[in-house]
Structure 1
Amino acid sequence: MDETTLDRLDLFIGGRWVAPRHGGSTDVIEAATEKVLGRAASASTADIDAAVVAARTALHGPWADYTAEQRADVLDRFAAALKVRAKSTAALVSRENGMPITLSISVNGYGPAAMFSYYAGLIRAAASEDVRPSMFGGRTVVRREPIGVVAAVTPWNYPQPLSAMKIAPALAAGCTVVHKPAPETALDAYILAEAALEAGLPEGVLNIVPGDREAGAHLIAHPGVDKVAFTGSTAAGRAIGEVCGRLLRPVTLELGGKSAAIVAEDADLDVFAAALLEVSLPNNGQTCHASTRILAPRSRYDEVVDAVTETVRALRIGDPLDRETAIGPLVSAAQRERVLGYIAAGDRAGFRRTTGGSIPATPSAGWFVEPTVFADVDNTSRIAQEEIFGPVLTITPYDGDDHAVDLANDTEYGLAGTIWTTDEARGIALAARIESGTVGVNHYALDMAAPFGGVKASGLGRELGPEGLAPYQQPKSIYLGTR
């Protein structure tokens, strides 16, 4: 690939490629080489203003007259355009953030296309209004109208699917979107603009404006925005929630996590170990729903520690574009220093480090950290309570199911979790006791047709499934008198 072709120095506003008002750009660094991969345009507040104006204009333009069937046709064409680009998109994201290509192919490549197709099918099948008999005579027509202009702000760890989780249902509902992707993965965001053009999306319905925190804050508080959809850290989510609360602006917040994996006494450890990479260390641990706190029954504690340690020690570290790689580099030097800081905190606390904990000797370049396991970890410690967002697992013993549930729930977060048992009914019963928006029994994977989101400090609202469409719709009741 000719790296000069990766420079994307224009913004996508009003259906056109537009130079930033102040000519700003940001270097996107390749995680595995630490070299500049390309430059991306960086939006100023003036560019954000222009994008919001374009979105508001489009909201009342031809897009407002599209039927649900016509919007669905656009979404299907959008999906087809993304699918054609799936392999190249996946490779680009892996270069940007270090995600192993075997994961990136599914989540950044084909996953977003499937999401657009899913919402196309959903709006074809759903009525835009229904008529209900009134308790007092007459009838009420309940309409579901687009909420308006949506500010979609996304992070760098799963840039394509997290963008699609907002853009696809918003477009399905008839909204228009101003999307601010993270600077670290700004290059792949342009693929969404290319797909929008190929799909024939009317001008201004989708606007792509990469930018820094100042640009994001300006967008979130912009008077021309009707709803905010954000994925990112809990700290940033709290600040965004405060702004939206003051403005009485609807907001969806998908935030951090510190999920527990409860290994029951009857668990099949071979099954658990085989799924460990996907469930506890996906994307090099840079995953909000990862089960990074492993809770092991005291009666089988040594077995669990050995199984986890041996599995993690055997994971292959290397080039994220190599299909044999299990653990790639972290997204940035700052992220690597953050993770190493937590490993040092675990060492200072005296916990038993059973594997990993250092920067590997090879590869010589890239922001790599060895996948690390700490055993005998106090559940109240920093490494058990704070989201590390890297390849670090902790193991804590428990005595009985009640103790395991108490430990799992002893966190400010509530996004995900897993239960490992050969008795599915027992697993479901334990899952019901976990204070979390999602739980997996003997595995974990997001279901596109089911709601995803957290409780407590893990966020507000839900994405995916029919529940992911509702936040972009505004119900309106039209009361009709008796005839």
Structure 2
Amino acid sequence: MIELHDDVYIDGRWRPSKSERRSPIFNPATGEIWANVPDGNTEDIDNAVAAARRAFPGWAATPAEERAGMLRLLADQIDARSDALSNCITTENGTPISETRSAPGYGAAHLREVASLAHLLTEEDKRSNPLSSGSSLVRRHPLGVAGLITPWNFPLGLIIVKLGPALLAGCTVVLKPAPETPMAARMLMEAIEATGFPPGVVNMVTGSAEAGSALVEHPRVDKISFTGSTDVGRMIGASCGRLLRPATLELGGKSPAIVLDDVDTSVLAANILKVSMRNTGQTCKACTRLLLPAHRHDELLELVAEVVSSAPLGDPFDPATFFGPLVSERQRQRVLGYMEIGAAEGAKAVVGGGLPAGLQRGFYVEPTVFRDVTPGMRIAQEEIFGPVLAVIPYSDVDEAVAIANDSPFGLAATVFGADIDRARNVADRLDTGNVGINHYGSNAAAPFSGHKASGLGTEFGPEGLSQYLTYTSIHFPN
């Protein structure tokens, strides 16, 4: 039975959408429609922004520790819905249940970590003036109404990493989740409602292009935070620049994994899937360029190919599955197109390269490893967002660093090596916002940001909180 929903969440309650359009939600494992939600319009966004604007003075005036307490209560509500949320995510975007089982707990933990930063908003910040006898008192204020636009690949976690700091800062929020994956966001609104946030503090409109554009361009929105493709991010950034509106843009990547010649092969084998092909390759941080030392190339390629070909592909609700379906037929065609491009460019698929046998239903592709890749090939330069790994040989560490940095992107990287100091020295030379040493690196307390075409601004930690604040300095003569 198809779940039918005609409402959006505005001003603390579910209300009928003003749009007559509806968006079908597909189960990527079967290709069948399982839900239907409003494709919100400009009027829905207007109503949501108006509610957020009305709620802003009261929420901004609420003591920071009370706002932090609400985040902790929301974390409890998410924990209580853990099974339902993980099942929902797997159903709406095909992420294997082995991954989504940890998503609610990660989101709840992230909210608690954000709540622990409340003291940064209350501690007096008085600074002496080095050029005179005076001093200054620095005040932090919430920016206002924040528009949050989130993607489909991690439809709960990537909302929470924006929602938590925005709310702690004292901003009110209008959320627009990806049109492919609105159902986990709807469940999150139920948790918001149960937590008891004041009406209008958090609002959500499901929808696609019209709703997103209306939110970005709305004259009463004070901040935009977007995660998604670089192309869309450029358009949002252009709009925010014209409007002189702060924006955080977490965009695409084509990240490298550099394998040093002293690598512990057991560490490489244990971590390469998560580093390069997490969530069936639909991860912005995925290190999909694998750089191998030329004198160990064939040996290490054979190891990686064996690991990838042995990872189970199939039903995302099977706990053993590592590779599930892609999110949509459109995404599958994109990935298949890049496989054809790679072959045409002269790369050779040593694993995969097309459609898997025995999976006629759903949006599946074969996990693929290409060898004979050169750094200038499109499969080595463009973000594919699927389970496609491009293997590139290098002669020495200087060349490896040069290849790694020869990219329009700079979101993430991994360095594999037994000598941690040597690996860290290589990491220091990479033009990227995040580097893992021998693993998939991330830390909710440390800044997450992209260089170059991978984005603007920062998420996570105190730096992420600062993205929702504006500052006033009060100057005293002595």
Match status 1:277 vs 2:273: yes
User: Structure 1 regions of 5+ residues with no counterpart?
Assistant: none
Kindly report which structure 2 residues correspond to 1:239-258, keeping only aligned pairs within 5 A, or say none.
239-258=235-254
- 1:100 to 1:376, Cα distance in 2 relative to 1, 3 A: same
Match status 1:24 vs 2:21: yes
Structure 1 residue runs of 4 or more that deviate by more than 3 Å after TM superposition: none
Task: Count how many residue pairs are aligned between Structure 1 and Structure 2.
Answer: 477
Kindly report which structure 2 residues correspond to 1:370-385, keeping only aligned pairs within 5 A, or say none.
370-385=366-381
Give the Cα–Cα distance (whole angstroms) in 2 for the partners of residues 368 and 415 of structure 1: 26
Which SS does the other structure have where 2:193 is aligned?
helix
Give the corresponding residue for 1:114.
109
Question: Does the 8 Å contact 1:43/1:211 carry over to 2?
Answer: yes
Give the Cα–Cα distance (whole angstroms) in 1 for the partners of residues 124 and 8 of structure 2: 37
1:126 positional shift: 5.0
Give the Cα–Cα distance (whole angstroms) in 2 for the partners of residues 148 and 128 of structure 1: 21
Out of 308, 315, 319, the position equivalent to 1:319 is 315
Give the Cα–Cα distance (whole angstroms) in 1 for the partners of residues 217 and 19 of structure 2: 21
Give the Cα–Cα distance (whole angstroms) in 1 for the partners of residues 389 and 56 of structure 2: 46
Which SS does the other structure have where 2:180 is aligned?
helix
1:277 positional shift: 1.4
Which SS does the other structure have where 1:27 is aligned?
strand
Give the Cα–Cα distance (whole angstroms) in 1 for the partners of residues 344 and 19 of structure 2: 47
Kindly report which structure 2 residues correspond to 1:28-427, keeping only aligned pairs within 5 A, or say none.
28-60=25-57, 62-106=58-102, 108-124=103-119, 127-135=122-130, 136-427=132-423
Give the Cα–Cα distance (whole angstroms) in 1 for the partners of residues 21 and 55 of structure 2: 26
1:64 positional shift: 2.7
Which SS does the other structure have where 1:290 is aligned?
coil
Out of 425, 444, 451, the position equivalent to 2:447 is 451
The normalised TM-score by structure 1 is: 0.97
Which SS does the other structure have where 2:288 is aligned?
strand
Question: Does the 8 Å contact 1:8/1:187 carry over to 2?
Answer: no
Question: Does the 8 Å contact 1:356/1:370 carry over to 2?
Answer: yes
Which SS does the other structure have where 1:117 is aligned?
helix
Give the Cα–Cα distance (whole angstroms) in 2 for the partners of residues 126 and 48 of structure 1: 30
- Comparing 206-215 and 280-289, the one that deviates more: 206-215
Give the Cα–Cα distance (whole angstroms) in 1 for the partners of residues 14 and 409 of structure 2: 40
Question: Does the 8 Å contact 2:434/2:441 carry over to 1?
Answer: no
Question: Does the 8 Å contact 1:77/1:198 carry over to 2?
Answer: no
Which SS does the other structure have where 1:22 is aligned?
coil
1:137 positional shift: 2.8
Give the Cα–Cα distance (whole angstroms) in 1 for the partners of residues 5 and 451 of structure 2: 38
One-letter amino acid of the structure 1 residue matched with residue 133 of structure 2: G
The normalised TM-score by structure 2 is: 0.98
Which SS does the other structure have where 1:145 is aligned?
strand
Give the Cα–Cα distance (whole angstroms) in 2 for the partners of residues 303 and 201 of structure 1: 56
Q: Deviations over 1:166-220 (max 9, x none)?
A: 1000000000010000110011111221111111111101101111112101111
- 1:237 to 1:420, Cα distance in 2 relative to 1, 3 A: same
Question: Does the 8 Å contact 2:153/2:283 carry over to 1?
Answer: yes
Give the Cα–Cα distance (whole angstroms) in 2 for the partners of residues 319 and 465 of structure 1: 36
One-letter amino acid of the structure 2 residue matched with residue 368 of structure 1: Y
Which SS does the other structure have where 1:276 is aligned?
helix
Q: Deviations over 1:427-468 (max 9, x none)?
A: 100000000000111011321111111000000111011111
Q: Deviations over 1:38-83 (max 9, x none)?
A: 11122110110111111111002x3132101110111111111111
Give the Cα–Cα distance (whole angstroms) in 2 for the partners of residues 96 and 22 of structure 1: 22
Which SS does the other structure have where 1:280 is aligned?
helix
- 1:403 to 1:329, Cα distance in 2 relative to 1, 3 A: same
- Comparing 374-383 and 83-92, the one that deviates more: 83-92
Question: Does the 8 Å contact 1:129/1:144 carry over to 2?
Answer: no
Which SS does the other structure have where 1:144 is aligned?
strand
* Percent identical: 47
Structural RMSD (CA): 1.2
Give the Cα–Cα distance (whole angstroms) in 2 for the partners of residues 23 and 342 of structure 1: 36
User: Structure 2 regions of 5+ residues with no counterpart?
Assistant: none
